[in-house]
Structure 1
């Protein structure tokens, strides 16, 4: 009996010990290591992340899928095909365009149509912004085009009207009259984008319509010096991504994982013209402002701070004995500008605009590019190492705070130059073989002193192409020294004038 009792005690101890061991295993090993031990017969393991919470787009739950974002945004992306008159593109323009936009995408080598008077200039993409047919694309996609065709996601085609362009940001606005219900994109906030966040690029690369690629935001406020302009007004504060884009994507949508527009794809970094790892998009913070201005005024109402700037680098800080290695150095201040009136001086270092830190020229340009003449911005700057702040009222190129209109057929008066100008009609552009601006009247001023006649059509200023009245303002206002004006007399004869500014 004693031996039988010992046997049962040993058996009971073994059962209890086994139960405890099994409980520990189930609670501490299988729970924490479940994904490593279950479904061992399957050769693949999910490693993705899911669509983020709309209220917190930086979260990344399990099972990432771009399906809903693509479904939501793709119908708003259109295919743009451009055609033009060969006479509108001189050899010089073609050469410069190939050089300037070799890393852009959308401008391809011209191919002649059956109509010898028409050239297929290229193709690109666009994004429907409003149900009534307004579309945003890149300026270089539609530049010099005499006809712009828009092909919808359902293959329906419409001829578009060019509402306005802004070479400074490489954006343009089109309008179509559609006989169907359009699906506009929903705007997102590019300011909320963070480096490492997922984004989709949607467009028509190589004429492959409605193509979607994915990548992450690699950097923000990137300046790649592709919008080279003599007036220094090119605004480059691109969103850099590694989403694959190629020729034809230009003007297409960059959207977040909620299908909201956060940028317009504009350029790629490439030695071959095809995707090599990085692409660049204009952020919607700038797109919305440019779109609104072009739609309402036909010209971008650009508010200028009135300073010449440089990034504060370690070398510049050492060279100029600055107290910091951050911010934007003021290399000069423009006369009659808002900056000089607000007390900014050469040698100041701007570190904040409207409570947002600015450490590069691109960041400063992006903040100011959102504003219009008459708007005020709070600027925090350093002078001799001490922090100061001031409010600057932004002005336009004319040195005033008034808004400028540039609608077709309307005249623009430039009092400081004594001229009244007007965009020429498409019929006249076809007749003389180029776009330009007509001088409607001349009063006392530099043009009258140079004996420029009324009716003269300006086509180039210092070899820079003139398309609209806004170009005349940008190229001439604030200019000093001699300026070469090229164009056509009312008789059709070419003319050249040297004007002392």
Structure 2
């Protein structure tokens, strides 16, 4: 077949054949995929004109002048017109589909929008954030949690905790959990049954040989320090290797038969406001609690007032990751699982305002406290 509409109508000589023997073969059309819409329309209109003319001629002929014959001719014309219209409309549909007449621009627009959206997400650094962040946080906690420890401060009953609460500016005493008299002696003592548990905090291993970093106020005035390590039934008796009250840092040491899991100390200078951060600690005695937030600000100064006077701390990291009493000394981690801060203080008059000592300020102090490079 060629790409033209073919008219296979066999004309009938009305004068030679009677009405009963006149036969009209149907019109047959073949659509060529290269036909344009205008050509289809012209062919359709021409065919309708032919059908109309033939209907009129048959109605006026001798054998077609009878009323039944006229109705029969008109019915044939209507059926033929319907078939022609159906074929033409099908041709229009086929042509539009082949040429993407209606969907081509939409597909291109969708593709362009998708590309632009992906480019914007990549530029903002948020590609598949909802999936990757959740997976990263779970992985960070799983890897980091074994290196986080619970620290218990035991003192003589006559001694106080040494840290006030609700100091100037509403900053709570750096998050150490004070214990009531009912809690006294619940973990016992190797030296004396008179020692009582004065408070608890958090720390983490930064060397596999057993070196632990925490806040100085967590172990302040302690007669004995015990460390509970994940996977061990009994706590370790810890040695306080060194303290620095100005930076609120302390290093402890415990000994074990196997290497301890550690956390890598990262560079807080490489962090940016809005980065995801993860805090792991023991708030109010709830061991190994993870909270998540973002880095809210950097270079924050705060002043803490207690019975020893005012203490000014500068260059702190601010975060909305929940930090409560008992989180003190615990790690503030980035999305790669590196320590970028040591959780230290919380504003008791607000929600979501916590502070951590940045790792960029502790490297030299750590060397001094440990006695070697770390």
> What is the TM-score of this pair, normalised by structure 2?
0.64
Cα distance in 2 between the residues matched to 1:231 and 1:120: 25
Cα distance in 1 between the residues matched to 2:166 and 2:179: 12
Matched, 1:71 2:138: no
Task: Count matched residues.
Answer: 271
Partner of 1:105: 175
Tell me, what secondary structure is at the counterpart of 1:217? strand
Matched, 1:118 2:195: yes
Matched, 1:167 2:245: yes
* 1:107-186 to 2 correspondences below 5 Å: 107-111=177-181, 112-113=184-185, 117-156=194-233, 157-186=235-264
Partner of 1:24: 105
Which of the numbers 277, 300, 313 marks the counterpart of 2:352?
277
Write the deviation string for residues 72-117 of structure 1: whole angstroms up to 9, x where unpaired.
221211111110113444xxx75x6345573421241453227662
Tell me, what secondary structure is at the counterpart of 1:129? strand
Matched, 1:262 2:329: no
Runs of 5+ in structure 1 lacking a partner?
35-48, 298-501
Structure 2 CA distance for partners of 1:107 and 1:9, relative to 1, 3 Å = closer
Higher RCO (CA-CA < 8 Å; seq separation 6+) = 2
Which of the numbers 54, 61, 78 marks the counterpart of 2:127?
61
Partner of 1:201: 279
Cα distance in 2 between the residues matched to 1:74 and 1:243: 16
Partner of 1:15: 94
Structure 2 CA distance for partners of 1:230 and 1:151, relative to 1, 3 Å = closer
Write the deviation string for residues 454-497 of structure 1: whole angstroms up to 9, x where unpaired.
xxxxxxxxxxxxxxxxxxxxxxxxxxxxxxxxxxxxxxxxxxxx
Partner of 1:294: 369
Write the deviation string for residues 428-479 of structure 1: whole angstroms up to 9, x where unpaired.
xxxxxxxxxxxxxxxxxxxxxxxxxxxxxxxxxxxxxxxxxxxxxxxxxxxx
Cα distance in 2 between the residues matched to 1:209 and 1:231: 31
Shift of 1:61: 2.5
Decide which structure has greater strand share: 1
Root-mean-square deviation (Å): 3.2
Shift of 1:293: 1.0
Structure 2 CA distance for partners of 1:229 and 1:113, relative to 1, 3 Å = closer
Structure 2 CA distance for partners of 1:110 and 1:179, relative to 1, 3 Å = farther
Partner of 1:372: none
CA contact 1:103–1:269 (8 Å) conserved in 2: no
Structure 2 CA distance for partners of 1:269 and 1:99, relative to 1, 3 Å = closer
CA contact 1:167–1:234 (8 Å) conserved in 2: no
Shift of 1:128: 0.5
> What is the TM-score of this pair, normalised by structure 1?
0.49
CA contact 2:172–2:345 (8 Å) conserved in 1: no
Decide which structure has greater helix share: 2
Runs of 5+ in structure 2 lacking a partner?
1-5, 8-26, 30-39, 45-86, 116-120, 187-191
List structure 1 runs of 4+ shifted beyond 6 angstroms.
227-233
CA contact 2:240–2:253 (8 Å) conserved in 1: yes
